[in-house]
A and B are shown apart, each in its own frame.
Chain A
Amino acid sequence: DIQMTQSPSSMSVSLGDRVTITCRASQDIGKFLSWFQQKPERSPKLMIFGATNLEAGVPSRFSGSGSGSDYSLTINSLESEDTGIYFCLQHKEYPFSFGSGTKVEIK
């Protein structure tokens, strides 16, 4: 099974800061990587798929990058509505697997 190592586990940042979250897969996952945002008591929301593709309706300050086994989610100029927990997911092969999550808070 593919293991996903996500970091950091939490971060406290200021409004307007640039945020970068990383996920490392235990093997090459060929850009089969998605990012989700989860607000308290809500279902996860797809933000990025295919490592770099922005889901419809997601603000352009979000971007994804990476290849092979290393991937990143970047939020340019953090806004208050961007707080929450972010998860990565590999869907290269079954069983799909999630990262452990990154909690983003406002400082």
Chain B
Amino acid sequence: EVNLLESGGGLVQPGGSLRLSCAASGFTFTDFYMTWIRQPPGKAPEWLGVIRNKGNAYTTEYNPSVEGRFTISRDNTQNILYLQLNTLRPEDTAIYYCVRYQFGRLDAWGQGTSVTVSS
């Protein structure tokens, strides 16, 4: 069974940093693109970025809205996806989801981890 479990969220002051993790299991992690998507309270989801699979050299793409502040990486020995969040702003407050992506399907979502940016 495919399972994605995010962690690392919490309350952080504006300007602060967080690193989110997503532990993946139940599939061959290196075969899949992995994405991060966030959803502010009561709003639509926002795609943040993607890290490609082994066959595509684990390259990354980002939403310009967060590029330069957020960094996606992966530990393929431990099957963990990361999202480094820097210079956080109140508008970054959201539930952050890791999502598996392959062949046009965002087919497996974690339960999300909550990030609140507030002083």
Contact = CB atoms under 8 A, between A and B. Distances in A.
A22 to B, nearest CB: 15
A34 interface: yes
A55 B105 contact: yes
Q: What band does the interface of chain B fall in when counting residues whose beta carbon is under 8 Å from A? A: 20 to 34
Contacts of B64: 1, 95
Interface in A44-100: 44-46, 49-50, 55, 87, 89, 91, 94-100
Interface stretch (B16-24, B68-76, B107-115): B107-115
B104 interface: yes
Given A50-B104, A87-B45, A44 B61 contact: no
Given A49-B104, A95-B61, 6 more contacts: A36-B106, A43-B111, A44-B45, A50-B104, A95-B49, A98-B45
28 contacts: A1-B64, A32-B104, A34-B104, A34-B106, A36-B45, A43-B97, A43-B109, A43-B112, A44-B97, A44-B109, A46-B106, A49-B105, A49-B107, A50-B104, A55-B107, A87-B44, A89-B47, A91-B101, A94-B61, A95-B61, A95-B62, A95-B63, A95-B64, A95-B65, A96-B47, A98-B44, A98-B46, A101-B44
Given A43-B112, A95-B63, A100 B44 contact: yes
A99 B61 CA distance: 20
A30 to B, nearest CB: 11
Q: Which range contains the number of A residues in contact with the other chain?
A: 20 to 34
B110 A43 contact: yes
- Most A CB contacts (10 A, CB to CB) among B49, B63, B104, B105 go to B104
A87 B50 CA distance: 19
A99 to B, nearest CB: 7
Contacts of B35: 96
